[in-house]
Amino acid sequence: MLSKSQAKWFLILATVGFSFVFLFLTFDTIRQVDARTNADALTEEVEGGREIWDQNNCMGCHTILGEGAYYAPELTKVVDRRGEVWIRTFLRDPEAMFPGRRKMIDYDFTEDEITDVIAFLAWIGEIDTNDWPPEPNLAVPDSGGDAAAALANAPAMVGDVCQACHSVGGVGGNVGPALDGVADRFSADELDTWLADPTAVKPGTAMPNLQLDDVTRAELVEWLLSLD
């Protein structure tokens, strides 16, 4: 048991001691802010994106760096996770990317505004957060396929957009089926019709109409047919 005066001194010393620890940690954090946030990479585009972010209250639904709401996906590392092309395609028309279950607002952003938003999100993603949040475990089944070989001749669109939802050789997302062996399941015509407008083939499908032009579609079909 501490005597009364021992308890008093314990209280005083602990309070003073931990106040110093607290002040030191605060100082240490402030000292590192510029380096950890890449303050020198704050371009006009990043600031423009931040204004758009604030004005539209994106945080009313999304979280970045632990701040915000949990209605919609966490966006700290979204540029890493989705890539620029995917985000641009999505922001042009969020409903098209998630047919029938759109919850994200279509803001009618101009291309420049989208560039700013992506610059802002990319800057956020570069902040040194001690690797938080951790990479999601997508639990894509290993198809036993050879991802490098399958992707060697893939059009850019595949890595930029398709793999967000589909895996190839065990690499990619798990929203849609793995694309390995897709050539055994569909003909060139079927694949082309599917890519042109998935909902026309299968109403209610979660595969988006990506507004692919004829050339891109032909390239994709040719590549898909190599996956047998």
Q: Contact residues for ligand HEC (CB under 6 A)?
A: 52-53, 56-58, 60-62, 71-73, 75, 78, 81-82, 87, 90, 94, 97-98, 102-105, 107, 117, 157, 161-162, 164-166, 175-177, 182, 185, 191, 194-195, 202, 205-208, 210, 220, 224
Which residue's CB is nearer to ligand HEC, number 34 or number 197?
197
**228: buried, middle or exposed (CB in 10 Å: 19+, 13-18, 0-12)?**
exposed
**62: buried, middle or exposed (CB in 10 Å: 19+, 13-18, 0-12)?**
buried
The angle that helices 111-126 and 84-92 make with each other, rounded to 10 degrees, is 140
Contact 143, 161 (CB under 8 A): no
DSSP string over 99-129: TT---S------HHHHHHHHHHHHHHHHS--
Cβ of residue 80: shortest distance to ligand HEC, in angstroms? 10
Which residue's CB is nearer to ligand HEC, number 13 or number 175?
175
Cβ of residue 33: shortest distance to ligand HEC, in angstroms? 24
Cβ of residue 3: shortest distance to ligand HEC, in angstroms? 60
Which residue's CB is nearer to ligand HEC, number 119 or number 224?
224
Which residue's CB is nearer to ligand HEC, number 90 or number 123?
90
Cβ of residue 26: shortest distance to ligand HEC, in angstroms? 31
Phi, psi of 105 (to 5 degrees): -70, 140
Cβ of residue 8: shortest distance to ligand HEC, in angstroms? 53
Nearest-angstrom CA–CA distance, 208 and 202: 11
Which residue's CB is nearer to ligand HEC, number 170 or number 176?
176
